[in-house]
Homo-oligomer: A and B are copies of this chain.
Amino acid sequence: MAHRVLHFFADFFVYETAKSVVVKSWSVGIINRVVQLLIILYFIGWVFMHEKGHQSRDTGIESAVMTKVKGLGKFNNRVNDVADYVVPSQGGSSFSIITSMVITANQTQGRCPETDHKFKCTTDDDCMAKLDSNLGNGIITGTCLNDTSGTTGWCEIQGWCPAEDDNVTENSMKEVENFTIFIKNSIRFPKFNVTRGNFPSSLNQSYIQSCRYDPVDHPFCPVFKVGDILRHINQSLDSITDKGGEIGININWKCNLDYNVTYCNPNYFFTRLDAAFKNSVASKGYNFRFAKYYQSEDGTECRTLHKAKAIRFEIIVSGNAGKFNTVPFLINLVTALTSVGLATVFCDIILLNFHKGADEYKAKKFEEVSGVVSKSANNRLYEGSQMAIKALEKSSNDSGTFSIGRQESHSPPNQ
């Protein structure tokens, strides 16, 4: 029993390491070191410097955005302020600035003719065919209401009357170019518990009120002029106010928290979000309908319908942060060190196939154990095949360590 335990321990603590062949050759030695150097450079340059392989990374950025638009513009025969043209009014990360409206006032429930050219008719049958249409301003009753001229008419609808006629051309609010958007973006990297704002606390009130963001001159200014944004995305004011459109304001945080946290600042990018549809004939621009409800004097409910063309802004916050952490650092370091050993694979191919003393290297590197199977049929095959191989050897163009040269007969060292 004591022997058994002794045996186990003696055996367990035996140390085993690979036996190496040392080749004193300038050419292979230099190739080996050059390949190792390239591998080391790759790890230093790409894995550690570019990909920040020594850092633990937080991609779960948490963000809160508050926006405030300022500016005054005229449309609809009146001066409009923020409460009139910003929808929704709460100043979140997504909001629209209405640049023009088709207003249909004093609508009440009832029956009246359609206004859309799709619902022109001459007889009731024309309208009966459109009973289930979703495209009208109300439910099609199936009656064709003729003009006084009696030649063409419009289908009758039931719903809010009079129906909206959106062929009216309204002037759009060109003053939107001078409007400013103040963006307060607060982010947090939960993994590192780092909280940052998109502008430094040191900025004073008067700077924030007067500055306009500029990537070069005012990179920390949180106030964006709509005209500047349009210039960044190469859009003309007219193209976007006439049809409406969607603009993305990307706030990108890429933070290296190994440096001081004050270097953790955002970059701003601007994109036209509906760019994917710019060649599409359908569905240009951006508009939506809403209604304001009144109670008329006789108690019936009435409403004013608004079809608003607007510029929609979406604040899109993205980013990640990295900080030194021993675990990814060690993993990548170990990977780097073991990868350096891979140079051997490449050098072996050269050494065993293309080098002057290849045969002698083979004899050294490979040791055969064929005696074991010498009385079997296997071995006769091997012996036969070895002769064939010997004859073929010079013409072999196989390029791996696996397939060339091990058939060279040489006396194994300990026989």
What's the nearest-Cβ distance from chain B to residue A136, in Å? 7
Is B19 a contact of A20 with CB atoms below 8 Å? yes
- A396 CB, nearest partner CB in chain B, Å: 9
- Copies held by the complex: 3
Contact A21 B32 (CB under 8 A): no
Contact residues of A between 165 and 207, Cβ < 8 Å to B: 178-180, 182, 184, 186-188, 190, 195-197, 199-201, 203-205
Given the known interface contacts A19-B21, A20-B366, the answer about A90 and B345 at a Cβ–Cβ threshold of 8 Å is no
In the complex with contacts A274-B186, A289-B89, A388-B4, A17-B72 CB distance below 8 A: no
Query: Are B18 and A21 in contact, CB atoms less than 8 angstroms apart?
Result: yes
Q: In the complex, are the beta carbons of B72 and A138 less than 8 A apart?
A: yes
Contact between chains at A382 and B184 (CB < 8 Å): no
**A283, B196: Cα distance in complex, Å:** 15
Contacts of A46 in B (CB 8 A): 327
> Is the C-beta of A354 less than 8 angstroms from some C-beta in chain B?
no
Query: Would A290 and B134 count as touching, CB distance under 8 A?
Result: no
A317 to chain B, nearest CB (A): 11
Selected contact of A282 from candidates B203, B282, B410, CB within 8 Å = B203
A57 CB-CB contact with B under 8 Å: no
Given contacts A109-B78, A178-B134, A364-B19, contact A369 B276 (CB under 8 A): no
The interface stretch among A120-128, A146-154, A232-240, A291-299 is A291-299
29 A-B pairs in the complex with CB atoms less than 8 angstroms apart = A10-B385, A11-B385, A14-B406, A16-B20, A16-B22, A17-B20, A18-B18, A18-B21, A19-B19, A24-B378, A62-B318, A64-B273, A70-B135, A74-B139, A78-B109, A81-B138, A83-B305, A88-B88, A90-B96, A91-B288, A134-B178, A134-B180, A135-B209, A184-B283, A197-B276, A357-B369, A357-B373, A363-B414, A411-B414
Interface size on A, residues (CB 8 A): 162
- Report chain B residues within 8 Å CB of A3: 384-385, 387-388, 391-392
- Within 8 Å of chain B (Cβ to Cβ): is A41? no
How far is A161 from B138 in the complex, measured between Cα atoms in Å? 34
Query: A368 near B: Cβ within 8 Å?
Result: yes
What 1/0 flags go to A58-94 for Cβ under 8 Å of B?
A: 0010101010101110100011011110011111101
